Structure 1
Amino acid sequence: MFSKKRALAGIAIATGAALALAGCAGGDAPDTAPTFDPNEKVTLDLAFWGNDVRAELYNEAIAAFNEEYPNITVNTSFLGFPEFWEKRQTEAAGGNLPDVMQFDYSYLRQYSQNNLLLDLDPYLGNIIETDPLPENILGIGVVGDVTYGIATSTNAWGLFTNPDLLEQAGVDEFAGDWQDYTDWAGEITDALGGATWGGTDYTGRIQNFEIQLRSEGSYLFSEEGEPGFDEQRLTEFWESGADFRDGIGAPQQRLEEVLPKSGFDAGITASELTWDNFGAGYLANLGIDEIGLVAPPVTKEGAKDLYLKPSMLHTISAKTEHPEAAATLVNFLVNSPKSGEIFGTNRGLPASETALEGADLDPLSQQVRDYEASIADRLGDAPPVPIVGYGTLEEKFRQLGTELGFGTITVEDAVTQFFAEMDVVLNQ
């Protein structure tokens, strides 16, 4: 049975009064260890974010699940990441969240604090197997000494590259610092004649800012919720993307045209900085046989700027009518060797030993595993659990990056707006 560590501090999204009002609808955990009757006919709703590739993997996983549990009908639905959370907020306000949800680390505390998620502790060690999961992995889903989520996998920040476009441009694989990355991307853009670009403005992603801060011995936010940067540092970061916005990177309007794909996903950029579990979707959408995955630009040599994070978790609604069946589904999706075989590293490297053993790692999955081994000297301790409201700030950062790309806002105004939003979130 899992003996929980002290919960890591702070996390989630500021979704306002809607979630707070919904919070009174929490569910009580059973007094005795629950068991599941496999003959009971039940229907569960399962929601996740992703694309058509991930949706097909979930369909395969549910079909395998139904071979073991034919009496549990699972209805699935998926959306892009921002739309997924918009819908969850609406459902939370109405008290009708899906039974089982793929869940992001950044949103866990807000939903759990508002009693919207089921306490999973009574299911650990019986319905939900814990032996295959290291204690630090189990601790990821703990808030206030209660387990609300089970991590499926881990991943790391990396740089994906398109080898076909690099070959066309006559450019070698990337290695170097942030200025080297700008120069490298510019060389690709020049070589490819303006219809394809070297990358996109990396300053639109808060994670790139975070790894620079970590290289400098700082952080985005401390465990107490204090920012590790000031207006000047954020100004410097956003100004460093000016060359990308001035022609090296794909124009923002062109990026809008290919949504919901990214520029890299659509084949119009040769690189993208993102989490390393995006590779399977990229290969499928690009229709190529191989993809590059290398370390992101270096800010300071020898710094422990990178880290492993939970790529996602699974949670259960506190109002589910079938908690035992829902826990059975979560256990399958996290621990089953069949689930590991189906998903590979689409959700990140499986956190469960049994799921990882079941995964017949294809070349891309092995590439991800090798990549994470290759950055071992840059891997430091994971940052504190994201502060309450982190999801809101991450999305605000992205939106301001888009406006900078369109040229509809100055860096000075973007910094002012972000700090104003941060002041509201941190002091609510």
Structure 2
Amino acid sequence: MRLARKAAGVTAALAAVALTLTGCGGGPGTTAPGSAEKLSTDEDITLSMAWWGDNDRADLYEKAIDVFEEKHPNITVQTQFQAWDDYWGARATEAAGGALPDVMQMDLSYLRQYGATGQLLDLSGQEGVNLDVGGLDESLVSAGELDGGQFGVPLSTNTLALFYNADLLDELGVNPPAEGYTWDDLDAWIAKTSKVGAGHDPVLYGFSDYTGQLWFFLSWLIQQGVEPFTDDGRLNFDEAQMTEWLDRGQDLRDADAFFPIKKAKQIEPLEGFTVGEQAAGMTWDNFLGSYESETGQEVKMLPMPSGPNGPQQFWKPGMLLSASASTEQPAAAATLIDFLVNDPEVGRIFGTSKGVPAAQAQIDAMGVEPGSADARVVQYEEDVADVVTETVPVPVEGVGELEAEFKRLSEELQYGNLTVDEFVSQWFSFADERVGRS
């Protein structure tokens, strides 16, 4: 293990996203496919690589990179990782100096911010030379395109899910939300669970304040028939809609039914759910394995709450890999990306911890045991495929900053330092400066 080298620390829906992205990009010119030079094995090469995540993800990456270096003995990979918020702060600083890592994890929310501003390498020229995307679904590959160039290669796919701790609910004598539950049903369930959990030692809460996550708001908007962003990259919702969303949680906030924000900040990067003091939560389905590892208990998944037209969800690339436009080793960077996306051994190492692998070869190589977390994530995506009918919200430039500001204001709302109206006013002032409205 190379721990000393660490720093601290799919579907038609996707094709529709790609059409929007390629239609309004402003990035650098594209590179003809296959125009790159083949990786040289005659020189010693050092690459830098960065990702967001926890120590468990870091251990998996280190194992995978060990295999990569065995296969490419002339390449040394220097690694670093940070928690989500710190990761993007570090990348912003590096981008300002034109010194992004050679290879980095990329999120769909940030792809336009970095790809359309000349910060990322167009990998098109590497395709068929040092990078093979032939084993990936074409619509999934297209999710990493901007202005006809390939600025990210998807590693995985995932969708949102509700997670609940089956053992804790058994202790409380509370059933999980029923099949086909709505957002109103969820709110009633949270109130009931937190009331029963008040007598538990330690006190057990039903949920954290889900209204503070932008992706949940976007999911709710889509269920109301609202496309959150326009094709030209502007906001397509208003103050009244955001107010309605945030007001959903006000009675639960007033009743102290959500996991307390003060305690949530104290235990970061852990969560109320992972320390066994919160019965349920919502996030991307690939968190199942880490949740069971951290809690040591059985965790189960349900689809997201239903909207007015029933259950409606969307696929999202779990994460992508990108290369820096300033890398001095584009062939080696593309080779590392190719390895992490396609190599079967990587599938065996990571399983579904980053989402269901984009490459079928990695899915086949996982060798999942029936009932394992990996098997259940794959099964969950098969089970919800019929309700994944919507297009993932278009990742407009700066949406990562909008997401961070939404989270920050939510924390102030939970502390009682802001009202809902003040939250909405401040967020739209922030957003209008960066994105604007339709």
Query: TM over 0.5, yes or no?
Result: yes
Tell me the distance in 1 between the aligned counterparts of 2:259 and 2:355.
Answer: 27
Aligned to 2:415: 406
Q: Percent identity?
A: 39
Of 61, 66, 69, the residue aligned with 1:63 is 66
Aligned to 2:263: 254
Unaligned 5+ runs, structure 1: 12-19
Tell me the distance in 1 between the aligned counterparts of 2:104 and 2:296.
Answer: 30
1:365 partner SS:
helix
Aligned to 2:246: 238
The residue type paired with residue 190 of structure 1 is: K
Q: CA deviation at 1:174?
A: 1.8
Q: CA deviation at 1:116?
A: 1.2
Of 148, 158, 161, the residue aligned with 2:161 is 158
| Residues 125 and 262 of structure 1: CA distance in aligned 2, closer, same or farther (over 3 Å) | same
CA root-mean-square deviation: 2.4
Tell me the distance in 2 between the aligned counterparts of 1:31 and 1:343.
Answer: 29
1:306 aligns with 2:275: no
1:287 aligns with 2:292: no
Tell me the distance in 1 between the aligned counterparts of 2:128 and 2:93.
Answer: 33
Tell me the distance in 2 between the aligned counterparts of 1:219 and 1:167.
Answer: 39
Q: When the two structures are superposed, what TM-score results if normalisation uses the length of structure 2? A: 0.89
1:343 aligns with 2:354: no
Instruction: Tell whether the 8 Å contact from 1:158 to 1:295 is kept in structure 2 after alignment.
Output: yes
The residue type paired with residue 349 of structure 1 is: V
Aligned to 1:15: none
| Residues 116 and 345 of structure 1: CA distance in aligned 2, closer, same or farther (over 3 Å) | same
Equivalent pairs, count? 412
The residue type paired with residue 367 of structure 2 is: D
Aligned to 1:324: 331
Q: Deviations over 1:238-258 (max 9, x none)?
A: 011113323111111111111
Tell me the distance in 2 between the aligned counterparts of 1:120 and 1:36.
Answer: 14
Aligned to 1:177: 182
Instruction: Tell whether the 8 Å contact from 1:27 to 1:115 is kept in structure 2 after alignment.
Output: no
Tell me the distance in 2 between the aligned counterparts of 1:208 and 1:119.
Answer: 31
Q: When the two structures are superposed, what TM-score results if normalisation uses the length of structure 1? A: 0.91
Q: Deviations over 1:202-253 (max 9, x none)?
A: 1001122122211121122122234332211211110111133231111111
Of 379, 390, 406, the residue aligned with 1:381 is 390
2:69 partner SS:
helix
1:200 aligns with 2:211: no
Q: CA deviation at 1:166?
A: 0.8
1:168 partner SS:
helix
Tell me the distance in 2 between the aligned counterparts of 1:236 and 1:123.
Answer: 47
1:9 partner SS:
helix
Tell me the distance in 1 between the aligned counterparts of 2:32 and 2:94.
Answer: 22
Tell me the distance in 2 between the aligned counterparts of 1:299 and 1:168.
Answer: 30
1:269 partner SS:
coil
1:34 aligns with 2:45: no
Q: CA deviation at 1:324?
A: 1.0
Q: CA deviation at 1:79?
A: 0.6
Aligned to 1:225: 233
Aligned to 1:86: 89
Q: Deviations over 1:347-368 (max 9, x none)?
A: 1000111121212225111111
Tell me the distance in 2 between the aligned counterparts of 1:244 and 1:281.
Answer: 28
